[in-house]
């Protein structure tokens, strides 16, 4: 029974392992880095993620949905968008050298690590979804996750510098880039040769995906960017410490959504309703357990994970951000149907509303620092969850 469950759920479990490894990194480096260095790393990671957003502005979902799961079409588009992502990463690196950054070297290393760890993987994933080669990518994910954790543990035990840790992570990321490109059969030279023809084959629906991702990133990351840019690094460390733990909610939802989208494409409304119902029941059951656990033992967890009494002050933030991420999980489940049905553009207006709520909250309550950031995140997440649920139910009713 257990073996059967593991086989059937290998793909989502591998995605969980990858995300758990990312959370593991943040938790463990915080245990041996100074509060300042951890705040610096977290801030640079947030800033790098923001700029790398332009390297994958919803292209992964566009590739899958616009290609209608046709493998050859998916491969060609993946090659195009990976080359575009590499070019944009180089532009960001060049731009950072002309900007004021406390440590140009650390920022560049964080940028490269983030590209390999997140941007590249997101763009290439549609191949394995469309080709139904979940077993291959599952084993690759598990290997990558274990290697990431090993690097982190070695860095912790040997008290390696942040720069050394980042270099080791980049080497692993480069190996993963070569490995995944091989299995996905991405011919970059062929892509470059036919790049004009490939660009001409892109349709205007791509702008809806771009708009949705930009808006999503803004309403979810404005509080983090605010903390990174306008709050002292020691206080920002509290926000990011709480945020890191609260993203355990995302460990489940991201994997479920990636699995749900291909299941919903060209499926019947009745089956789609069943998929949504089952996933929502599963997600909310786990989320309820996680929140109750953090409510009861949150302070102990902060103390154990970060080994500094200072981080216990992040407990109220932890609860606020966890509730917020539960709202985002609800929105993600319902929003999956909007994406799979080809109506991605519908999300933009609702997300703009969330952005306005986030900005207004920070403007009105900025004197409360990181608590203003947490409240902005909470209000925007709650708003988007309510709007997505109402809109999706209306769409399903009309389609029935």
Please state, in angstroms and rounded to a whole number, the distance separating the CA atoms of residues 217 and 195: 28
Please state, in angstroms and rounded to a whole number, the distance separating the CA atoms of residues 344 and 292: 34
Please report which helix (H) or strand (E) contains residue 100, including its range.
Answer: none
Buried b (16+ CB within 10 A) or exposed e, 151-179: bbeebeeeebebeebbbbbbebbeebbee
Q: Show pLDDT as tens, one digit a residue, over the chain (400 residues).
A: 555 555 667 777 787 788 788 878 877 887 778 877 887 888 888 889 888 988 988 888 888 777 766 778 888 889 999 999 999 999 999 998 888 778 889 999 999 999 999 899 889 988 887 777 878 888 999 999 999 999 999 988 998 888 999 999 999 999 999 999 999 989 888 888 888 888 888 888 888 888 888 888 888 889 988 888 788 878 888 998 899 888 877 767 777 777 787 778 777 888 888 988 988 888 888 889 999 999 999 999 998 888 788 899 999 999 999 999 999 999 999 998 888 887 888 999 999 999 999 999 999 998 888 999 999 999 999 999 999 999 999 999 887 7
Please state, in angstroms and rounded to a whole number, the distance separating the CA atoms of residues 187 and 185: 6
191-195 contacts, C-beta under 8 A, 24 or more apart = 191/76, 191/79, 191/80, 191/83, 192/83, 195/80, 195/83
Please report which helix (H) or strand (E) contains residue 98, including its range.
Answer: none
- pTM, 2 dp: 0.74
Domain ranges of the chain: 1-203, 205-400
Give the length of the chain: 400
Predicted local distance difference test score (pLDDT) of residue 384? 95
Q: Which residue's structure tokens are 């290439």?
A: 124
**384 and 219 in contact (C-beta within 8 Å)?**
yes
């Amino acid at each position: 029974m257990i073996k059967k469950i593991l086989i059937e759920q290998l793909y989502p479990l591998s995605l969980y392992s990858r995300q758990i490894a990312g959370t593991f990194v943040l938790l463990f480096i915080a245990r041996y880095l100074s509060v300042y260095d951890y705040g610096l790393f977290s801030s640079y990671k947030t800033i790098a993620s923001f700029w790398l957003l332009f390297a994958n502005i919803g292209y992964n979902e566009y590739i899958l949905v616009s290609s209608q799961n046709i493998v050859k079409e998916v491969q060609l588009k993946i090659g195009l968008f990976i080359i575009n992502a590499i070019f944009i990463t180089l532009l960001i690196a060049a731009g950072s050298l002309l900007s004021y950054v406390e440590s140009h070297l650390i920022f560049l290393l964080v940028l490269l690590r983030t590209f390999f760890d997140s941007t590249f993987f997101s763009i290439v994933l549609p191949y394995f979804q469309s080709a139904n080669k979940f077993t291959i990518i599952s084993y690759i994910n598990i290997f990558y996750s274990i290697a990431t954790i090993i690097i982190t543990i070695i860095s912790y035990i040997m008290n390696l510098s942040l720069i050394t840790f980042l270099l080791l992570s980049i080497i692993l990321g480069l190996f993963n880039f070569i490995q995944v490109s091989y299995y996905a059969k991405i011919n970059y030279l062929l892509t470059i040769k036919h790049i004009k023809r490939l660009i001409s084959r892109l349709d205007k629906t791509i702008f809806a995906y771009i708009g949705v991702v930009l808006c999503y990133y803004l309403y979810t990351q404005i509080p983090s960017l605010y903390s990174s840019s306008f709050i002292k690094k020691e206080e920002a460390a509290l926000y990011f410490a709480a945020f890191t733990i609260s993203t355990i909610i995302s460990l489940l939802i991201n994997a479920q959504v990636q699995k749900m989208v291909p299941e919903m494409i060209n499926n019947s409304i009745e089956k789609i309703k069943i998929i949504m119902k089952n996933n929502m029941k599963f997600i909310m059951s786990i989320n309820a357990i996680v929140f109750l656990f953090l409510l009861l033992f949150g302070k102990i967890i902060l103390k154990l994970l970060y080994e500094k009494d200072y981080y216990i002050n992040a407990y109220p933030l932890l609860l606020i951000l966890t509730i917020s991420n539960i709202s985002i999980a609800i929105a993600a489940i319902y929003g999956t149907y909007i994406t799979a049905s080809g109506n991605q553009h519908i999300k933009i207006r609702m997300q703009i509303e969330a952005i306005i709520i986030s900005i207004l909250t920070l403007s009105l309550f900025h004197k409360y620092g990181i608590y203003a950031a947490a409240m902005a995140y909470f209000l925007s997440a709650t708003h988007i969850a309510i709007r997505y649920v109402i809109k999706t139910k209306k769409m399903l009713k009309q389609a029935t």
